[in-house]
Amino acid sequence: MRVRPLTIDGAWEFTPVQHGDDRGVFLEAFKADLLAETIGHRFDLAQVNTSVSAAGVLRGIHFADVPPGQAKYVTCTVGAILDVIVDIRVGSPTFGQWDAVLLDDGDRKAVYLSEGLGHGFCSLQDGSTVTYLCSTGYDPTAEHGVNPLDADLAIDWPRVGRDGGPLEYELSAKDTAAPSLAQARADGLLPGV
């Protein structure tokens, strides 16, 4: 498995080696020892989430209170998404910046993001299935969001899907109502470094 650090400190891309023949493909999608070596500590798996999204669905930018925060190891097993990691840590040299990785059922990459980072994605085809390995369980009282269309973040969301057709963004009511990064900072919702 190849590991590449992203431009946001605390985030990495993992690309598995795929072994294929006439029967199909085999790969190691997650290796605890490699992840621990990369991030400098053991990843404690507390919950596994799966979401299935239509083309154009935007999910995020989500994050959890720190402590304890929620680290995630994310992959797309069916379809394709543009996965986006946002540095929302006040005081970080890359605060307000983002990086993106195409996760799909071709390269079968995954991303890891540390506690305190924001996460979101745009589905590029109907039925895109995303699996998240999470370091802590879901706690609705500790979950927050930043609007993924915040003009100050200026995330370059895809405009066309995997089939080449135009994407129409669809957000949940919660994500639509989420504050801008500046408002979340003013409200004291964001973690520090």
**pLDDT, position 175:** 98
For the question of whether the overall pTM of this predicted structure is more than 0.75, the answer is: yes
Question: How many other C-beta atoms can be found within 10 angstroms of the C-beta atom of residue 128?
Answer: 26
Residue 193, in any domain of the structure: no
Residue 66, in any domain of the structure: yes
Q: What is the CATH number of the domain that holds 110?
A: 2.60.120.10
pLDDT 10s digits, 48-92: 999 999 999 999 999 999 999 999 999 999 999 999 999 999 999
Average pLDDT value over all residues in the chain: 97
Residue 8, in any domain of the structure: yes
Structurally, the chain folds into a number of domains equal to 1
DSSP-H helix ranges across 47-160: none
Give the separation between CA 87 and CA 118, rounded to whole angstroms. Answer: 6
Residue 158, in any domain of the structure: no
Mean pLDDT over residues 27-32, rounded?
96
Q: Which domain holds residue 118?
A: 2-152+164-187
Mean pLDDT over residues 114-133, rounded?
98
Residue 31, in any domain of the structure: yes
Give the separation between CA 153 and CA 10, rounded to whole angstroms. Answer: 19
**pLDDT, position 138:** 93
**pLDDT, position 46:** 97
* Residues taking part in catalysis: 62, 132
Residue 192, in any domain of the structure: no
Percent of the chain whose pLDDT exceeds 90: 99
Residue 159, in any domain of the structure: no
